Amino acid sequence: MEFGETLLTIALILCIYAAIAHILGIWKKKNELFDSARAAILLIGVLLTIASLWLFNLFITRNFQYEYVAMYSSLDLPKVYTIAAFWAGSDGSLLLWAWLISIYIAIIAIRGKSYDNLIKHAMLVILPTLGYLIYMLLTVSRPFRMLDFMPVDGNGLNPMLQDPGMLFHPPTLFWGYAGVLIPFALMIAGIYLSDETWIYRARRWALWAWLGLALGNMFGSYWAYTVLNWGGFWGWDPVENASFLPFLTMTAFYHSTMIQERKSGMKIWNIFLILFTWELVVYGTLLTRSGIIASVHTFGQSVTAPYYINYMIVVFAATILLVAWKYDSIKSKKILESFVSREGSFLYNNWIFIVAAASVLWGTTYPLLSEAFRGYKVMVGPSFYNQINVPLGIALLFLMAICPLIGWRKASLSNLKRNFSRPLLLAAVAMVVAFALGVHDFYALVAIVAGSVLVISTHLIAISRMVTKQKKTEDKGFPKNLSLAFWNNRRTFGGYLCHIAILMIIVSATGAVVYEKTETFNMRVGGTYSVGDYEFKLTKIDQYDKNNKQVSAALFDVYKNGKLVLTDSSALMYHYLKQDNTNVKPMAYRVGIDDLYFSAQAITSNSATVKLKVMPLMFLMWIGGFHVLISGILISLSTKVAVRKNRYNIGMEDINEL
Amino acid sequence: MNKKTKNILGIGIVGILILYLGAVSFSNALSFYYEVGEFVTIADTFNGKIVNVNGTIASGSTIWEPEKARLTFNLSDNNGTITVVSNDGMPGSYKEGIPAVVTGYFVNNTFQATMVVTKCPSKYGGDLDHGEHNET
């Protein structure tokens, strides 16, 4: 048997063994069985790591006798992309997913102290799932399948995937996909055992998965902007939607778990949120790996679709049955005394995310349903998603402004006046000033001006109150008070940073859409062309070879108010020799607050047809999404939330390990 | 009417409004999707309405005019062929013999494409090259 498949087969046997050992261990109450199962789990992690390294090795050594390697690499493919080719196809992606799950459970198994009853039961969800993925890797989605001949060369990697984004977008997304399994499994175990502490155990894993999903979506967006020549950061492509959906429901889940922790409410809601998140992860994989929806980057037809669909049906049915069986033990306490309260703001937040997710799911799935049940194919254009999600984004902005200051239980009129009169006044003044300065667009006034002022001011007020509280406890001077307030409230600060990141993304998207200026010119060398406040002078055409492609470059000097602000900026086209096709490589350069976006449509020896865009505020999207959002999640991740002892009758030491 | 009923009524109205607006924008955003063979039989009935057509870029049919950024090619399947014109430059990964979806409208026996999306098939570049003496 082939080496990689041998490793996978042993891993599958160990999965089955570990699952049986868990069942017997729980049944017979024998701890030694768990010790042996944990050893098996560790070994699964080691085996899948070796199998993955083996696949990397096959790509790096360009062993084309392996069908998967031959399909996704070639002799002229730069080495760095032979690594990324690992997850260029469905088989490798599945291996990556299984590998990451195996690492996560190995980490859980190695930390014996936290290997309690809840996690033992959760393993009975994780291990069969992992075993199922490994079974698929051995039967219908085989990365180690060997050909009965040695091809002269491979087919090469799709040129659109030959970009540094390919190194980061799929792995981060699968890091999130794999991570979602853990809170889902803890939820199932929690319901079965009537152990509500699952929500605490799931928190940091949910954050970890959320971090991966956030990174995956941001890398995807950046890729769309700088590689796919969509001329924007998001195209509502079905596969983009597939990765966005679990991010939306996971965001809702993370917020509503805070209500369960604090108020013992929204329990059923949380169960369904994490169930849907996991189902959407599998659904996303189905969409991207089975090719059932026409998209720019689905992986063609495959036979794996029934496997994903069957799994989804089983998981959904089993969870519903379990919830029905244990319904009495998972009833929530009533949490909502008033719609004008902190609890209410969490509820609205969840509704916004759920409506957004439902609209995206509907738009993405409808073409499938139409074809299956009505017999004709349709496509859903981006206008549907924008018309639903733009107002929701604005509503979210105002909710973010309200949530740090609104009172718990029931916000009184005096509470509202005390907390919001100054931010509202400030926002009103800012809108008047902005209008007088020429900002007349509704969305710009509402989202960029009012939204920013409200969100920033309410968050600053909330932070200042934390510092004041710290000062009252022990005044150590402002810098120390601030740092202590930060340290003692890391989870809240992390959340606030995430809010600021979302604000930056919404402001950036609004600025780029409302104030974007676009022109397409057929240019001659030496000619100057104006877009907005900028003048673009085509200085020369350059043509040269680079790695496995021929590059055509139109080079520009850019002037603003007669002053040179950018030199040798370029619009590029790549011609890939192996695949004999030409791709546009869009280029974006930041000048002040503007992105100057170059997208070549044609380049000849002395002329170029280039689409030029000026997109204000785009830089905020990348700073917000990559730096602020990620920092916020990491800061939140650094905190442990102790179980409220009076609510659940268990020891804290059991909990704080995860 | 007590406060709770008022709140529920308010939320209900907002919910219905969202559903209504969603349904309207959804119906406006829908466009039909055909295979080339299906489309050629009904092409004249669309009267300039936006439609999506799926097919394969026919070999030897490409006319590329870089000065105008105009691309002309035939999109075909086993049951028909249409001529497609795009004035939006060279689409990413364009190549003859691969599947593509064109979005646009049909006028004067020509499909004016506002968007050409080439699919990226898993078996990129077709069958593997066996070489001459490499069978093992």
Question: Nearest CA to CA, how far is B136 from chain A (Å)?
Answer: 5
* Residue A574 near residue A159 (C-beta atoms within 8 A): yes
For A362, the token pair is 């509907």
Residue A537 confidence (pLDDT)? 95
**Which candidate, A100, A137, A170, A178, places its Cα nearest to that of A307?**
A137
pLDDT average per 10 residues of sequence, chain A (658 residues): 94 97 92 92 97 96 94 90 91 96 95 86 96 96 92 85 86 95 96 90 92 93 81 81 94 90 83 96 86 51 82 96 91 73 87 94 89 82 89 91 81 79 92 92 90 94 91 86 89 93 92 88 90 94 89 94 92 83 87 93 87 92 93 88 57 40
**Partners of residue B117 in chain A, C-beta under 8 Å:** 296
Please report which residue ranges of A437-546 form alpha helices under DSSP H: 442-443, 452-473, 478-488, 490-514
pLDDT score, position A291: 63
Among B25, B90, B122, select the one facing A584 at the smallest CB separation: B90
Mean pLDDT of B63-80: 88
**CB distance A602–B90 less than 8 Å?**
yes
What's the rounded Cα separation, in Å, for the pair A501 and A629?
5
Domain positions in chain B are 1-30, 32-118
* Interchain CB contact of B25 with A (< 8 Å): yes
- Looking from the CA of A19 toward its CB, the CA atoms found within 13 Å total 15
* Ranges of H-type helices in chain B: 3-29, 36-42
Structure confidence by residue, pLDDT tens digits, B90-106? 787 788 888 888 999 99
CA angle, residues A472, A478, A484, in degrees to nearest 5: 70
Q: Check CB contact under 8 Å for A155 and B134.
A: no
Nearest to B93 among A159, A298, A602 (CB): A159
Asked whether residue B121 carries a pLDDT value surpassing 50, the answer given is no
Is A410 exposed, middle or buried (CB count within 10 Å of its CB: 0-12, 13-18, 19+)? middle
User: Thinking of the domain B32-118, which architecture would CATH place it in?
Assistant: Beta Barrel (2.40)
| Minimum distance, in Å, between the CA of residue A118 and any CA atom of chain B | 39
**Tell me, what's the pLDDT at B126?**
47
Residue type, B37: G
Which runs of E-coded beta strand occur in A302-396?
Answer: 377-380
Decide if A539 contacts A593 (C-beta within 8 A): no
- Residue B132 confidence (pLDDT): 44
Interval B75-99 mean pLDDT: 87
- Would you call B93 and A156 a contact, using CB atoms and an 8 Å cutoff? no
Residue A448's closest CA among A508, A529, A379? A508
Judged by a CB distance cut-off of 8 A, whether residue A239 touches chain B is: no
Compute the distance between CA of residue A616 and CA of residue A555 in angstroms, rounded to an integer.
22
Q: Whose CA is closest to A136, among A15, A22, A244, A238?
A: A15
Q: What is the ipTM of this complex?
A: 0.79
Contact A297, A160 (CB under 8 A): yes
- Please report the pLDDT score of residue A297 as a whole number: 43
| Structure tokens given for A528 | 């100057």
Q: With beta carbons less than 8 A apart as the criterion, state whether B123 and A155 touch.
A: yes
B96 within 8 A of B74, measured Cβ to Cβ: no
Question: Would an 8 Å CB–CB cutoff place B123 in contact with chain A?
Answer: yes
Closest CA to A336 of A256, A252, A250: A256
From chain A, pick out residues whose CB is under 8 angstroms from the CB of B122: 71, 89-90, 291, 299-302
Query: Which of B22, B34, B123 has its CB closest to that of A300?
Result: B123
Q: For residue B134, what pLDDT is reported?
A: 34
Query: Is the alpha carbon torsion for A270, A271, A272, A275 positive or negative?
Result: positive
| H or E stretch covering A269 | helix A267-290
Task: Check residue A652 and give its pLDDT.
Answer: 41
Separation in Å, CA A8 to CA A12, A64, A458: 6, 20, 53
| Per-residue pLDDT reduced to its tens digit, B34-65 | 889 989 998 888 877 889 998 999 999 999 88
Of A161, A366, A582, which is closest to B90 when you measure between CB atoms? Answer: A582
